[in-house]
Amino acid sequence: MSGHGDPIPMTSRRSGPLTGEAHVPGDKSISHRSLILGALAVGETHITGLLEGQDVLDTARAMRAFGAELTHHGTGAWTVGGVGVGGFAEPSDVIDCGNSGTGVRLIMGAMATSPITATFTGDASLRGRPMGRVTDPLALFGARAYGRSGGRLPMTVVGAAEPVPVRYTVPVPSAQVKSAVLLAGLNAPGETVVIEKEATRDHTERMLTGFGAQCRVEDSEEGRVITLTGQPELLPQTIVVPRDPSSAAFPVCAALIVEGSDALVPNIGLNPTRAGLFTTLQEMGADLTFENMREEGGEPVADLRARFSPNMKGIEVPPERAPSMIDEYPILSVVACFAEGATVMKGVKELRVKESDRIDAMARGLEACGATVEEDEDTLIVHGMGPGGLPGGATCAARLDHRIAMSFLCAGMAAQQPVTVDDAGPIATSFPVFEPLMEKLGAQFVRAGE
């Protein structure tokens, strides 16, 4: 489990062309939600394509602790025997969500309107992240939370015995907060209303509707208004989890910066609330095409083809695009090193409270590799050095953050000198097959001691 084992230093050196197909794992956001909503349905939900990264496995273990019956049938195939809305049992031990902010925040929401108490913890990264953004709205339902200073884990949540519905405007663009409030609203009588000023990923709304809840979304002057009718009977579903665009970002971006590459990344979910990176790359002049565009399970899906793109230009990424590519700024900042001119990323302060402070982690690591980077609280600017221009030759800190580790390994594939990450272990949280998948395309990774 990330953060618990010995560090796994890994070095990435300049590779030949990346070619072939990369079948990336299932979507992490949808995987968490499939397990949690499956646990809240009455009957057996069947899931295929589930991401079996540590984050999702920790959510699976948590759902068992709350009384759901989960069965693993083979790679990505699970059934979840749900206990129904309001049916969660009180866990007999602490819930360890490992590295996963999504896991802990969604589960806190899902249990906060039941008359049970649960204590949550996680690894060093998760114990440093703010939970007040979730426990503040959960208090409006009648739940109470007792954590460390700054609203940090470990934290005990006492669920509301007689929850009341809530009307809540989310103060930061966060799908985790929105989803926690909606999941809490499931067991409150009447209508719970969540308003978000900027649209964030909408998997919870879509899946609640799929499970048979009444969940209405309207655009108004206040923003996106989501109205959920409480205490529905959720009906078990058959779910095919699409492949994760946030994981696809790594082979796609690596192919854009490694000379001679031509890689296909098939079956990627392109929900507009997730696809901001691909728009940005095309604006930069990337040779990135969407083939075989189609709809699957109500979501747009395509095969992504990425080819080496020696003529990319830095651009200003509009701040309003941030929610649709929030997890992709680390790898975008690597691509920016290989473009001409500056890439200006504004409105990105949420990056400071992810698995690590991702602005600081990327700025320090890219500087060590020889790039020029500017930052302020809400902005990251990377000055491009053109194709093959990044010197590399540094060891970068992964900071218990899977996306930071993968980003620097991609940088090493195109930099002049190898790039080492001090710990590739966290990659297993979201992309357990990253190493063999990238090596099959042509990457040259070496683990320390090999």
> Which residues are known catalytic residues?
327
Considering beta carbons, is residue 12 or 407 the nearer one to ligand S3P? 407
Q: Are 374 and 362 in contact (CB under 8 A)?
A: no
Considering beta carbons, is residue 287 or 327 the nearer one to ligand S3P? 327
Torsion of CA 63, 68, 69, 71, to 10 degrees: -30
State how far the Cα of 261 lies from the Cα of 310, in Å rounded to an integer: 11
Q: Binding mask 342-361 vs ligand S3P (x if CB under 6 A, - otherwise)?
A: --------x-----------
State the minimum distance, in angstroms, from the CB of residue 220 to ligand S3P.
Answer: 21
| The only residue of 91, 201, 230, 275 in contact with ligand S3P, by rule CB under 6 A | 201
Helices 245-257 and 402-414, packing angle to 10 deg: 20
State the minimum distance, in angstroms, from the CB of residue 92 to ligand S3P.
Answer: 27
Considering beta carbons, is residue 133 or 305 the nearer one to ligand S3P? 133
Name which of residues 4 to 43 contact ligand S3P (CB under 6 A).
29
Does position 304 interact with ligand S3P (CB under 6 A)? The reply is no
Does position 99 interact with ligand S3P (CB under 6 A)? The reply is no
Stretch that binds ligand S3P, among 1-9, 169-177, 268-276, 412-420 (CB under 6 A): 169-177
Stretch that binds ligand S3P, among 172-180, 256-264, 291-299, 339-347 (CB under 6 A): 172-180
Stretch that binds ligand S3P, among 107-115, 170-178, 271-279, 385-393 (CB under 6 A): 170-178
Reply yes or no: is the peptide bond before residue 154 cis, omega within 30 of 0.
yes
User: Which residues have CB under 8 Å from 217's CB, separation 6+?
Assistant: 202, 205, 224, 225, 226, 227
State the minimum distance, in angstroms, from the CB of residue 414 to ligand S3P.
Answer: 25
Total binding residues for ligand S3P by CB under 6 A?
Answer: 10
CB-CB neighbours of 293 under 10 Å:
10
DSSP state of 340: B
Closest CA relative to residue 344, chosen from 335, 358, 333, 354: 333
Question: Which residue type occupies 434?
Answer: F
State the minimum distance, in angstroms, from the CB of residue 130 to ligand S3P.
Answer: 10
Considering beta carbons, is residue 175 or 362 the nearer one to ligand S3P? 175
State the minimum distance, in angstroms, from the CB of residue 326 to ligand S3P.
Answer: 5
Stretch that binds ligand S3P, among 73-81, 171-179, 382-390, 392-400 (CB under 6 A): 171-179
State the minimum distance, in angstroms, from the CB of residue 19 to ligand S3P.
Answer: 29
| Torsion angles phi and psi, residue 226, rounded to 5 | -110, 120
Provide DSSP, 231-284: S--PPP-EEEPPBPHHHHHHHHHHHHHSTT-EEEEEEEE--TTT-HHHHHHHHH
State the minimum distance, in angstroms, from the CB of residue 178 to ligand S3P.
Answer: 7
Does position 135 interact with ligand S3P (CB under 6 A)? The reply is no
State how far the Cα of 299 lies from the Cα of 268, in Å rounded to an integer: 10
| The only residue of 15, 54, 59, 102 in contact with ligand S3P, by rule CB under 6 A | 102
Q: Are 184 and 114 in contact (CB under 8 A)?
A: no
Does position 326 interact with ligand S3P (CB under 6 A)? The reply is yes
CB-CB neighbours of 93 under 10 Å:
8
Name which of residues 173 to 192 contact ligand S3P (CB under 6 A).
174-176, 179
Structure tokens that stand for 422 in this block:
């001090």
| The only residue of 58, 327, 328, 435 in contact with ligand S3P, by rule CB under 6 A | 327
User: Which residues have CB under 8 Å from 1's CB, separation 6+?
Assistant: 54, 58, 98, 123
Considering beta carbons, is residue 33 or 305 the nearer one to ligand S3P? 33
User: Which stretches of the chain bind ligand S3P, using CB under 6 A?
Assistant: 29, 102, 174-176, 179, 201, 326-327, 350
